[in-house]
Amino acid sequence: MSDERTPAQIEADIVRRRERLAETLDEIGVRVHPKTIVGDAKARVAEKVDRTAGRAMAALHSATEGVRARFTAEDGSPRLERVVPVALVVVGVVGLLALDSRKRKA
């Protein structure tokens, strides 16, 4: 058996390698094209924003469920012993802010 290749085999091998090289160069050209880079960056940012927004929504839902559980009974009715003091504090704070605002304007 001879390890020597014929000129036709060598030429065919060169053609195959040239085609693979051309494909590789095309792929590299696409990857380094500014539009591709910008598109990839946008996709990564969008993915992170979606992930962060999802986490924020889950945290917000959990927090609101916790607050709701503190201020409502199991049947959904408000727990007045908890709602009334909080409402009075809110009214008091808003009143103080309004008075402070009037004093500053005067």
pTM of the model: 0.44
3-state secondary structure of 76: coil
Same domain, 4 and 27: yes
Mean pLDDT by 10 residues, the chain (106 residues): 83 97 94 92 95 94 91 90 92 93 81
66 in the same domain as 41: yes
Query: How many residues are listed for the chain in this entry?
Result: 106
Helices 34-71, 7-32: crossing angle, 10 deg rounding: 50
Q: Which two tokens stand for residue 33?
A: 């094209």
Could you give the number of structural domains in the chain? Answer: 3
pLDDT of 74 reads 87
Residues 15 and 42 in one domain: no
- Owning domain of residue 27: 1-32
